[in-house]
Structure 1
Amino acid sequence: MKVFRMAAVLALVAGPAFAQDSPHINLMADGPAKTEDEKAADVARDKAYKETLKKIPDAKASSDPWGGMRAEPPKQPAPKAAAATSTHKKPKAGTASN
């Protein structure tokens, strides 16, 4: 019974390995070739499609729907003239310093 189980396990493990080495056979039959009428219809359809694409206008406007809802960026304040000087204030007596 153990031999049968081992043979079954070996067959299950080895099956995918053998499937990878099998020759690639296309079981689907190739479709029939297109007739001249079908080829002409395809060419006409492609031409009409390309002409339709040429009629589409170029998008020049922004397509951002939230563009008007955003606030303008904050303006940077001008540097103060007093901050440019290097005068240090001494803390008052009795106050805690940071």
Structure 2
Amino acid sequence: MRVLCAVAIAALVTAPAYAQMPNINLMPEVKSKTQEEKDQDAINQKAYKESLSKIPDAKGSSDPWGAVRNDAPRAAAHPAKPKTKTGNNVQRNQ
């Protein structure tokens, strides 16, 4: 009797949850392309590649502050100081 009640309760609890599940077809029918569609795709791909080849190369940086900044690398402008054993950057005169 207890088993029958447990099964009935489980069915009542899962029924509303099952009703809320969306009806999604995970395996839709596969539609193959016709020869005309394949030809049109090939023409589109060729036109796309040709349009990409017409794009000019980048002429350089478009940095508006490029003329103001120094072109030297930062590492050369500020040499790194060796750290001591304590971890601070203070150098001792010996």
TM-score by length of 2: 0.43
* Structure with larger Rg: 1
Task: Point out which structure has higher relative CO (alpha carbons under 8 A, 6+ apart).
Answer: 2
Compute the TM-score of the two structures, normalised by the length of structure 1. 0.42
